[in-house]
Amino acid sequence: AVIIATGGRPKELNISGEKEFRNKGVSYCTVCDGPVFKGKKVAVIGGGLSAMESAIMLSNIAKEVYLINKNPIFKGDKILLDKIKSLPNVKVIYNGLTQKIFGDKIVEGLEYKDEKGDAQKIGVDGVFIRIGLTPNSNFIDGIEKNEFGNIKINNKSETSIPGIFAAGDVADAPYKQIVIAMGQGVSALLSAVDYLNKTI
């Protein structure tokens, strides 16, 4: 039996300052790092569900939240966008293409191009990059995956191949959190034991 628990990695913007300020103001996890920015100014970069959820979460923590979307529309539930529009401390920036993150020893701000192509600067203490997660599943073929590359599993962590199980961020579970991955890991282990007991 094999248990695949290779996780995933956050998609990056690949812009100036992103790597230099990682864990120095640049974050890819709002649940993990949001509380660090209580009463401060932050930016969330992204145009999908995770970016909108992050902005809503941070609105209860940070003093000001800038939600920067490089597109003219959001890919996500309208009810979330309506919620964001009702939040007084969240400013949505459409057609904003983030160019660089700057600062001295920690993040002090970011620069983006507006819809006219003009450079704009915002002073922020933190930047949350929420543009998706790439599962570490490229090493295995012949197993069923979803459109994002996550390995499909059932409620027993079984994959499309008997004897192969998956757990955590590499799988197609709806939420990506450590405690959920740990629980799935236990589920996969118990399923693997059950499989071995029945086949050996």
Evaluate whether 142 touches 161 at the Cβ level (below 8 Å).
yes
End-to-end CA distance of the chain: 11
194 is catalytic: no
Evaluate whether 165 touches 1 at the Cβ level (below 8 Å).
yes
29 is catalytic: yes
CB atoms within 10 A of CB 15: 17
Distance (Å, whole) CA 50 – CA 56: 10
The SS3 assignment for 57 reads helix
DSSP H helices in 13-77: 30-33, 49-59
Evaluate whether 21 touches 125 at the Cβ level (below 8 Å).
no
33 is catalytic: yes
Which H/E stretch holds residue 183? helix 178-199
Amino acid at 167: A
Q: Which residues are catalytic?
A: 29, 32-33
